[in-house]
Structure 1
Amino acid sequence: MKLTTSYRDIWKVSLPIIIGSAAQNVVAMTDSVFLYYTGEEDFAAIGFVAAFYLIVAAIGFGFSRGGQIMMARRAGQGKPDEVGRVFYSTVYFELALAIIMFLFMTHGAYWLFASLVDSDVIFYKSLEYLEMRKWGVFASYFGVACIALYTGIARPLFIILDTFLLAATNIFLDRALIFGMYGFPEMGIAGAGLASTIAEYVALLVFLIYMVLDRKNRVYNIFKLPKWDPVIIREIVGLSVPIVAMSVVGLGSGFIFFGLVDNFGERALATTNIVRIAYLILSIPAWGFCTGINTMASYFVGANQPENVRTVLWKTSFLCLGITTLMIVPLLAFPRYFLYPILGDERAYLIDAAYPVFWVLWGILSTFSFGSIFFNGLIGAGETRFALKIQTLVAVLYVVLIFLVVHSEWGTMSLAWAVEILYWIAIFVVAWLFFRKPKWSR
């Protein structure tokens, strides 16, 4: 594997990841879109509980990112044998972690939701969804370990096909299980949880079959099952804990945001979910570039080329901004043409209420393009603890500002969303200043 700072190599690494990293976003968006047609209460509930499950998924993904960075570093150092050992250590840890998360969702989610949600309807519907969705955590965590391998060695092309399979399976089963079609029982919001769980297992099975048939991965000793290696496990955990903490802090603040918006009423929560669907779609390129920059920054550090890290950060940021802008401008100009075919006219008033927030969303995505890329550059370069300190401080300020906006007389939905612009500006400025230090260049 050999990488340069060219736009071609940025695309080579990032484009498959952009599509592959959309897996959980696609699942959450599909569930939301189908439940939009079942009623406003189901639609509001899925917005809340899906935000929670994204945190669960992000924890597993965060630990896999630690393994991904280590595998990319070993590849940059020309040590293919070590790549396979890191991969299996990642798998072992992910499966152990999946058991812990499953137990938490079984016994702890009730108390967590009760402390955040005022509406009894939203509370019980969220638990109904999670009862089915929690079984997918094993497939999700094993799957992200496999994705980490192919992302770390810069061969993520199959991730595209597997993500399409995941999406197609989830769409079919959502339609079948939510509405009771094709001979399946009508399960409502619980059907959405079951559909997503089954789709993840199907996608994992196909990915494992591909790995068995892929001859190019033989150099990494993929089929040599090593013993539990506590040294590598500790290294993965040491690198990943700050990444996971950052994911929990970032997505957790968003989860709290949904809980606070519930104070505006179920209608406001449903309107916010419309914006969230647009956000899930429009942020897919940024999250893909973030994962790609983890690999490229780690590769250049491993190859002793730190000067290339800043170059690839700026190129990736501008590339991300351009793609995101191309995606959101048509939505702002012709919202009816893009949203009504997906969401229909049943609750068109929610789309109209969400439209002013779409302009705020443009500002969020513009700052997100730079803040998230530079921030993930820190992670890829191994500065995870410093990155954790930054995000924790900024996230605390974010939650405080959201609380003030939501509980004030002058607070509005648009203003509540606009706080995130300040969040990403602060992240970008601190990360940019770090990479300007002479110490980093040396």
Structure 2
Amino acid sequence: MGDPSLNTQDSLVRPGSLRELANVAVPLVLSCGSLSIMHVVDRIFLTWWSTDAVAAALPAGMIQWTAMSIAMGKATYVNTFVAQYEGAGQKQRVSESVWQGLYMALIWGGILLLGIPFAGTFFHWIGHVEAVQKLEVDYFSILCLASGPALVSTVLSCFYTGRSKTMVVMWVNLASVSVNIVLDYWLIFGAGPIPEMGIKGAAIATVLANVCTVIFYAVIIFVNHEAKEYGLFNNCRWNQDLFKRLIRYGFPNGMLYFVDVVGFTLFIVLVGRIGKTELAATTIAFNLNSLAFIPMMGVGTAVMTLVGTRIGERRPQLAVTTTWKAYAVSAAYMLLFAVIYVGLPELLLRPYEPKVVTDEFLEVKKMVIVLLRFAALFSFFDAMAVIFGSAIRGAGDTRFCLYYSLVTGWGIMVIPTFFIWMYSDEKLFYSWAACTSYIGVLGLGYLIRFQAGHWKKMRVIEDHFADPISEDKEHPAQKALT
């Protein structure tokens, strides 16, 4: 049962205030931060296991994420439906939105299993060295089993994030990350009766952690009064109109995920063709950058939620205020990490050092230090892309994000990287320069689109569900404050 005093306190937070943003964003930042730590720990364990394992983990993981990305984008977009219906006071529609997302997650989770038999052929075509190929196939095939649970847990999390109840999501993620890290160590290196499994153990740990996440959400929903309040178990029927709208707005969001992931996956694949050392260095550099970037996704989800809620209330100007506050905080956060990347790279790389430092690792380390300077440069624009992109998608402007990301990603990063791989002598340096340029242009484009204001007139829910609230009028929460 929830604490009524906490609910009352939340309702008295002034809409559009920094405190409201913090209440929603901080648990999500901690939640996403725990996920980034999990990925870093996973890569550290694999670095201790072998250079081949850590080189295989990033391309195999990204290709599995690519296969799941369209469905994940649609599952994540349930958050916007929940937020806008919550803002409009339509609790039944909140529950129906969650159920349509669950049906979609189960369908796609089954479809994604069909990719397992083709893993060997696919990774052979990619052309990484044979030792890495075998590990990529093992890692990818097992990770595919996690697709269904990952999609289901994402939809269930939207029931809470869309209503700004982000503390629940934080605790669930912290619990599942803890499970993952413990299982990661046991299954990679072996413990007691558990044999050493290497990269297979890392993948199995991910699958089991995703299953645990679904179980955690199911238990919380069953014991919490909110399930009854929202009629969660009475609104499980198939709603064709709502499902179509989820696909209509969620599919471009899913394709956006797909386009972004395909672009970065091809980038990784091309870097992998340069050499195993370059691939390992890129893997570690992206892994370290995730310490800054993944928590930013928590702020992005908070912005998407609050913008969606304000759109449901028909008070878009408050959404503008929240978005700019979120960007100011995010830019300062990313600046801090940029300083760390440039000033303390040796400290960041210390956990990756194997027990016996080899010449191969020293070469990887030298490359990573250079790549972190690129990460420092594009981190500011990363914040811009996440915050302003999340704001316009929270209103329903998903098609622009898709088209713009497609054009800039392929035109500035993927195609130039291909020609760099073909003809340049400084392949790694210029490839990362292309990646940095893409992120910069992406961030600036989203900022311009946000400033244009087209998103203020958009909605994903039915128009008749919300009564307009004048920007000049006080919201009930504000009246309570006064």
**Structure 2 length as normaliser, TM-score?**
0.86
Runs of at least 5 residues in structure 1 that lack an aligned partner in the other structure? none
1:436 corresponds to which of 426, 429, 451 = 451
Could you tell me whether the CA contact under 8 Å between 1:77 and 1:302 is conserved in 2? yes
Does residue 287 in structure 1 map to residue 297 in structure 2?
yes
- Over 3 Å counting, the alpha-carbon distance change for 1:24 and 1:247 in structure 2 is farther
Does residue 417 in structure 1 map to residue 432 in structure 2?
yes
Does residue 393 in structure 1 map to residue 403 in structure 2?
no
Deviation string 1:257-290 (CA, Å, 9 cap, x unpaired) is: 1100012111111111110211222212221112
SS of corresponding position for 1:227: coil
The code of the aligned residue for 2:202 comes to A
1:44 corresponds to which of 18, 34, 55 = 55
Q: What is the CA–CA distance in structure 1 between the aligned matches of 2:55 and 2:448, rounded to whole Å?
A: 40
Correspondence 1:97-116 to 2 at 5 A: 97-104=108-115, 106-116=116-126
Deviation string 1:218-250 (CA, Å, 9 cap, x unpaired) is: 321123252222211111111111011111111
The code of the aligned residue for 2:57 comes to I
Correspondence 1:276-315 to 2 at 5 A: 276-315=286-325
Does residue 370 in structure 1 map to residue 384 in structure 2?
yes
Could you tell me whether the CA contact under 8 Å between 2:55 and 2:283 is conserved in 1? yes
Could you tell me whether the CA contact under 8 Å between 2:48 and 2:352 is conserved in 1? no
Which structure's CA Rg is the greater one? 2
Q: CA offset at residue 312 of structure 1? A: 2.2
Does residue 166 in structure 1 map to residue 176 in structure 2?
yes
Which residue pairs with 2:364 in the alignment?
350
Moved more, 222-231 or 355-364: 222-231
SS of corresponding position for 2:423: coil
Q: CA offset at residue 23 of structure 1? A: 6.6
Deviation string 1:356-379 (CA, Å, 9 cap, x unpaired) is: 111110111111111221122221
The code of the aligned residue for 1:219 comes to E
Correspondence 1:151-190 to 2 at 5 A: 151-190=161-200
Could you tell me whether the CA contact under 8 Å between 1:81 and 1:219 is conserved in 2? no
Correspondence 1:44-123 to 2 at 5 A: 44-104=55-115, 106-123=116-133
Q: What is the CA–CA distance in structure 1 between the aligned matches of 2:143 and 2:273, rounded to whole Å?
A: 26
- Over 3 Å counting, the alpha-carbon distance change for 1:328 and 1:305 in structure 2 is same
Which residue pairs with 1:381 in the alignment?
395
Q: CA offset at residue 348 of structure 1? A: 4.2
Could you tell me whether the CA contact under 8 Å between 1:364 and 1:418 is conserved in 2? no
Moved more, 108-117 or 290-299: 108-117
Q: What is the CA–CA distance in structure 1 between the aligned matches of 2:365 and 2:37, rounded to whole Å?
A: 20
SS of corresponding position for 2:197: coil
Which residue pairs with 1:249 in the alignment?
259
Q: CA offset at residue 440 of structure 1? A: 5.4
Could you tell me whether the CA contact under 8 Å between 1:24 and 1:57 is conserved in 2? no
SS of corresponding position for 1:224: coil
Could you tell me whether the CA contact under 8 Å between 2:128 and 2:272 is conserved in 1? yes
Q: What is the CA–CA distance in structure 2 between the aligned matches of 1:379 and 1:20, rounded to whole Å?
A: 21
Q: What is the CA–CA distance in structure 2 between the aligned matches of 1:87 and 1:383, rounded to whole Å?
A: 21
Could you tell me whether the CA contact under 8 Å between 1:55 and 1:251 is conserved in 2? yes
Q: CA offset at residue 325 of structure 1? A: 2.3
Which residue pairs with 1:232 in the alignment?
242
- Over 3 Å counting, the alpha-carbon distance change for 1:343 and 1:139 in structure 2 is farther
Q: What is the CA–CA distance in structure 1 between the aligned matches of 2:195 and 2:34, rounded to whole Å?
A: 26
Q: What is the CA–CA distance in structure 1 between the aligned matches of 2:76 and 2:268, rounded to whole Å?
A: 26
Paired positions, count: 441
Which residue pairs with 2:209 in the alignment?
199
Q: What is the CA–CA distance in structure 1 between the aligned matches of 2:213 and 2:443, rounded to whole Å?
A: 35
Q: CA offset at residue 147 of structure 1? A: 0.8
Moved more, 73-82 or 218-227: 218-227
- Over 3 Å counting, the alpha-carbon distance change for 1:93 and 1:412 in structure 2 is same
Could you tell me whether the CA contact under 8 Å between 2:284 and 2:368 is conserved in 1? yes
SS of corresponding position for 2:364: helix
1:143 corresponds to which of 150, 153, 160 = 153
Moved more, 244-253 or 163-172: 163-172
Q: What is the CA–CA distance in structure 1 between the aligned matches of 2:83 and 2:255, rounded to whole Å?
A: 21
SS of corresponding position for 1:226: coil
Moved more, 381-390 or 306-315: 306-315
- Over 3 Å counting, the alpha-carbon distance change for 1:214 and 1:418 in structure 2 is farther
Q: What is the CA–CA distance in structure 2 between the aligned matches of 1:309 and 1:225, rounded to whole Å?
A: 30
Which residue pairs with 2:230 in the alignment?
220
The code of the aligned residue for 2:168 comes to F
Q: What is the CA–CA distance in structure 1 between the aligned matches of 2:29 and 2:71, rounded to whole Å?
A: 18
- Over 3 Å counting, the alpha-carbon distance change for 1:333 and 1:433 in structure 2 is closer
Runs of at least 5 residues in structure 2 that lack an aligned partner in the other structure? 1-9, 458-482
SS of corresponding position for 1:37: helix
Q: CA offset at residue 26 of structure 1? A: 4.7
- Over 3 Å counting, the alpha-carbon distance change for 1:117 and 1:289 in structure 2 is farther
Deviation string 1:43-76 (CA, Å, 9 cap, x unpaired) is: 1111211222333454343112221101100001
Could you tell me whether the CA contact under 8 Å between 1:401 and 1:419 is conserved in 2? yes
Q: What is the CA–CA distance in structure 1 between the aligned matches of 2:33 and 2:262, rounded to whole Å?
A: 19
**Structure 1 length as normaliser, TM-score?**
0.93
Moved more, 234-243 or 307-316: 307-316
Q: Which ranges of 4 or more aligned residues in structure 1 deviate by more than 6 Å? A: none
Which residue pairs with 2:465 in the alignment?
none
Q: What is the CA–CA distance in structure 2 between the aligned matches of 1:222 and 1:289, rounded to whole Å?
A: 27
Q: What is the CA–CA distance in structure 1 between the aligned matches of 2:38 and 2:262, rounded to whole Å?
A: 19
